A and B are shown apart, each in its own frame.
Chain A
Amino acid sequence: MFVISCPYCGARDQSEFSYGGEAHIARPEWREDMSDAEWADFVFMRSNPKGVLAERWVHSAGCRRFFNMLRNTATDEILAVYKIGERAPEVQAKLPATPCGEAPIGSGNDAVKVMQPGEAE
């Protein structure tokens, strides 16, 4: 479980917050020649990274305001909290060594050991 720092109320338990999904997905400007694929990309397609994700949360049992957060989805480490309308700050994150690999701590999956080339079993 996380403690999330609401930019308006300060640090609170995660159970006070609701998840709002990936942030910075802009609704496309309406055009007459807009294709179904473009619309599908906005409605359904998501980046779903194993790494740094910009996401929205709402402090639903507190100030009830939305804000944005940067979190490392491989470890659940919260990297930055910023307000709606602001740009995501630059952050450093400890990413897994390989795309599907597990972070050294925090992944919850200590069982998967990633073999590097040349490494003996």
Chain B
Amino acid sequence: MQRYNVVRLIREGLSGHKGWQPAWRKAEPKPSYDAVIIGGGGHGLATAYYLAKLHGMTNIAVVEKGWIGGGNSGRNTTIIRSNYLYDASAALYNHALTLWKDLSRELNYNIMMSHRGVLNLAHDEGEARQLKRRVEANRLNGVQAEWLEAKEVKAFCPPISVAADARYPVIGATLQRDGGVNRHDAVVWGFARAASDMGVDIIEQCEVTGIDTDKDVITGVRTTRGTIATEKVACVTAGHTSVIAGMLGLRLPIESHPLQALVSEPLKPVLPCVVMSNAVHVYMSQSSKGELVIGAGIDPYLSYTQRGSFDIIEHQMAALIELFPFVSRVRMMRQWGGIVDVCPDASPIISKTPVKGFYVDGGWGTGGWKATPGSGHALADLVANDEPNAIAAPFTLERFVTGNLVAEHGAAAVAH
């Protein structure tokens, strides 16, 4: 692999940038692999990376129906935090946060990880009590968290309106200082490059159309570029998890919804942190390019169309202008939708299935991006050892039968 460093940058700069190599190989599908990962998003590529790096499984393939970074990885708002209420979630998301911190160095790829802090606003007494409780729970789990009163919120993030007569008065907020944002393309490109370097085949424009089994044991996958024999298939296609599992006749506790986001024209730095508001269903950060990146709650109906409906955007903008009056004069440049698959308890599934050799990583709902390396790390462990590790164990499919849910819907400070 061509290392990226300042010496090479200077050398390439002086020679017209003609010596750069592609970041990963364009692989053709081989007849068989030890494992096939369906889905070349952040989670799928992270899984491949950790399978190769930590478990020595390099004869594996990642198959992606579009191109790397063209699906949900390119459609999220890249917010990183781990301030979840329950122990199981805190373990998972904080593990991911720990991995994020060193990922640029590890991948030799600048993922532009910016630990600028994440504010979760409280607009009424009930919400404030709930958020303070979460701060305490976070601290017990080793998750960085603190409570800010309104004037401290204003000091930390000056553009917020904390007027007492506001429609949604800000009475305080939780702050996770090591939360932040990163660069979605860089993450998938970095993982793809590092995985490819260790021998993982990354096969783009290759859609899975069927999965072959023999007596409930995986034997291979059928794709638009031919059949691949394998004993292990990991389905990492959040958004389309039910469709892939449906090829095996599996029903999952998942419904897919559009989740919309939009960006403004680029501005000079105006917003120093990530701001989320549960009650008014909006969250905003500013990208390094200067665009305000704004996300909403999900559209309420099940759909695979990556658009969403206008009334959601309208509701979100109305709330945003209340919180940040200056935004009323900012033009919005692009709007899009991604498909999120939502579990009834708003927690993901990292699990074996009744079909031997078929693993599911999905149901991340509206918050999968922050978990990317943690999810890949846990799933790689599951695929290699056929047993979930301590982090993945609470997120099995069986929890919907036993009732042992990780019910983060109201607790996760997520604008669901």
Contact = CB atoms under 8 A, between A and B. Distances in A.
Q: State the majority secondary structure of interface residues on B.
A: loop
Contact of A99 (B243, B344, B401): B243
Contacts of A75: 305
Contacts of A22: 255, 302
Contacts of A117: 224-226
Nearest to B337: A108
A27 interface: no
A65 to B, nearest CB: 18
Given A45-B251, A46-B251, A111-B66, A73 B305 contact: yes
Contacts of B237: 100
Contact of A45 (B247, B252, B403): B252
A18 B299 CA distance: 11
A48 interface: yes
A108 B307 contact: yes
A53 interface: yes
Contacts of B109: none
A30 interface: no
A74 interface: yes
B362 to A, nearest CB: 11
A107 B306 contact: yes
Contact of A108 (B71, B306, B402, B403): B306
B338 to A, nearest CB: 9
A29 B283 CA distance: 44
B242 interface: yes
Contacts of B247: 99
Interface in A89-121: 98-101, 106-109, 111-117, 121
B302 A73 contact: yes
Contact of A112 (B70, B242, B244, B310): B70
B240 to A, nearest CB: 5
B20 interface: no
A54 to B, nearest CB: 11
B303 A76 contact: yes
Interface string A30-55: 00000011001101111111100101
Nearest to A117: B224
B27 to A, nearest CB: 13
Given A45-B253, A46-B254, A98 B300 contact: no
Given A107-B304, A112-B70, A115-B224, A98 B209 contact: yes
A36 B252 CA distance: 15
Interface size bracket, A side: 35 or more
Nearest to B303: A73
Contacts of B306: 107-109
Given A44-B344, A98-B209, A36 B401 contact: yes
B207 interface: yes
Nearest to A76: B305
A115 B205 contact: yes
A55 B301 contact: yes
Given A100-B207, A100-B208, A55 B309 contact: no
B77 interface: no
A15 B210 CA distance: 38
A108 B305 contact: yes
A50 B240 contact: yes
A55 B256 CA distance: 13
B256 A48 contact: yes
B347 to A, nearest CB: 12
Interface of B: 65-67, 70-71, 205-210, 224-226, 237, 240, 242-244, 246-247, 251-256, 300-307, 309-311, 336-337, 341, 344, 400-403
Q: Which 7 residue pairs of A and B lie closest in terms of their CB atoms, listed nearest first?
A: A108-B306, A48-B242, A44-B253, A108-B307, A112-B66, A1-B309, A15-B311
17 contacts: A15-B309, A36-B401, A40-B401, A41-B251, A44-B344, A46-B253, A48-B243, A48-B341, A50-B304, A73-B303, A75-B305, A76-B307, A99-B210, A107-B305, A112-B71, A113-B66, A117-B226
